[in-house]
Amino acid sequence: MQDSSRYDVVIIGGGPAGLSAAVALGRSLRTTAVIDSGSPRNAPAAGVHNFLSRDGVPPLELVAAGRTEAASYGSVLIDAEAVDIEKDPEGFTVTLGGGGRLSGRRLLVTTGLTDELPDVQGLAAHWGSGVIHCPYCHGYEARGRAIGVLATGPMAMHQVQMFRQLSSEVTLFLHTGPELTDDEWELLAALSVRVVSGKVEAVEETDGSLSGVRLESGDGFPLDALVVAPRFAARSALLESLGVRITEHPMGIGYSAEVDPQGRTSVPGVWAAGNVADPVAQVMASSAAGLMAGAAINGDLLAEDAAAAVERHRAGAGQALGGAPAGHDNGTTTGTPDGTAELESHAH
C-alpha cells in the first residue's frame, strides 16, 4: 500500500467538532482531510436544539451544511473509517478501513462518543425519541408529559430534579440504582415524585412509539418518555493506540481523552475535540472546541514553519519568510541580533 496524500492536518471524525476545525484551518489556507464514518452521535434525534439560529435543524442536515462549508475552503472529505494510525517522521499516517492511507503533519481526533445504554429489553430501539437523557436536548419536547427516570447510578436524583422542572408527572424507577437516603426520600416527597421499586424488565411500545415500562413483577406503567443515564464511552481507541492519556469523568459518567483547553493531548502533534474529549459538550460546545483546536494547530504549524524558515535563512539557502536571501537589501524584513524582525523602509 502506498501513501497517496499528505495534508497539513488529518481530521478523524466529521461531526460538528471536526468540521468546525476544518473550516478554521481551511480559512488559514491549511490543507486538511476529514475522514468520517457517517454516524454522528445525535443521528437518532429529530432535531438539534440549543443551537442558536438553527434550532430544530435535523442533525444530518446540520452535518451536510458543515461539510459543504468545509469543502468550500478546500477540505477533502473522505467517507471511510480510520482504523489505524502510525507515527511517521513528518507526522502521522492514517490507514482507512477500505484500504488507502493518508498522512498529516498534525492529527485531530473528533470521533465523538458511544452512549452505552442500560440493558433493558426494547430500550435501545427508542433511543433519541422516547428514551432520552439530556433535558437541554429534548426535555422541552417532553414537558408536561408522563416522564419516567430509570435509576442506574448516582445521576438519577439529578435527572429527577431536571425533568421535574419540566413536568409534574415524574416517576422514579429505582431499578438498579443506589439505595435512597432519608434526605432523598424527603426531597422526592416534597417534589411529588412517585417512586417505584423493582427492576424494569422491558420498554413497551404502541404503534412504534414508547408507551411505558414493564417491571419484572409484571406491573406496567404508562409513560410518554423514559430518562436514562448512558455511560459516555469516548471513541478513543485510535488515540489510545498512540498513547494518549484517557481519564474518567469526575462525576463517574464515563471517560474521555485528556486535553488542555486548546485540545492538545498528552501526545505531541495530536489534538482531540468534541465529545471524545468532553462527554458533556453539546453541539455548540463541540463546534467551539473544534474551532479552538483548529486555531491551536494552525499556531503550532506556524511556529514550526517559522523555525524552519529561520533555519533556511541562516543557511542562506532560500527565500525565508517570503523575503530575500541573507545579505540582500531590498527593503523587506531582516533579522536583528535579538532574533526579532524589523521592517526596513525602502522607497522606489
| Pairwise CA distance, residues 193 & 180, whole Å | 13
Q: Give the residue, chosen from 111, 171, 236, 256, that forms a contact with ligand FAD under the rule CB under 6 A.
A: 111
- Binding part of the chain for ligand FAD, among 7-15, 145-153, 160-168, 296-304 by CB under 6 A, reads 7-15
336: left (phi over 0), alpha (psi -120 to 50) or beta: beta
Using an 8 Å Cβ cutoff, are 316 and 325 in contact? yes
* Nearer to ligand FAD among residue 7 and residue 313 (C-beta): 7
Q: Give 342's strand partners.
A: 334
* Nearer to ligand FAD among residue 25 and residue 188 (C-beta): 25
Binding marks (x or -) toward ligand FAD, 60..99, rule CB under 6 A?
---------------------xx-----------------
Q: Give the residue, chosen from 3, 29, 39, 305, that forms a contact with ligand FAD under the rule CB under 6 A.
A: 39
Using an 8 Å Cβ cutoff, are 156 and 177 in contact? yes
Using an 8 Å Cβ cutoff, are 104 and 8 in contact? yes
Least separation in angstroms between residue 214's CB and ligand FAD is 23
- Binding part of the chain for ligand FAD, among 15-23, 165-173, 185-193, 205-213 by CB under 6 A, reads 15-23
Relative to beta strand 82-88, strand 91-96 is: antiparallel
Nearest to 94 by CA among 242, 286, 256, 246: 242
Interaction with ligand FAD in 284-313: which residues (CB under 6 A)? Answer: 284, 286
Using an 8 Å Cβ cutoff, are 115 and 41 in contact? yes
Using an 8 Å Cβ cutoff, are 96 and 80 in contact? yes
> Residue 103 has which C-alpha cell?
498522512
Least separation in angstroms between residue 71's CB and ligand FAD is 16
Q: Give the residue, chosen from 137, 234, 293, 297, that forms a contact with ligand FAD under the rule CB under 6 A.
A: 137
* Nearer to ligand FAD among residue 18 and residue 212 (C-beta): 18
79: enclosing H helix or E strand: strand 76-79
| Pairwise CA distance, residues 290 & 25, whole Å | 10
Least separation in angstroms between residue 276's CB and ligand FAD is 6
Starting at the edge strand found earlier in the chain, the sheet holding 225-227 runs 131-132, 225-227, 147-150, 170-173, 194-196
Using an 8 Å Cβ cutoff, are 134 and 41 in contact? no
Q: Give the residue, chosen from 75, 93, 256, 275, that forms a contact with ligand FAD under the rule CB under 6 A.
A: 275
Binding marks (x or -) toward ligand FAD, 201..240, rule CB under 6 A?
----------------------------------x-----
Q: Does 254 bind ligand FAD (CB under 6 A)?
A: no
Residues of the shown chain interacting with ligand FAD in the complex, contacts defined by CB under 6 A: 12-18, 35-42, 44-45, 48-51, 81-82, 110-112, 115, 128, 137, 235, 274-275, 281-284, 286
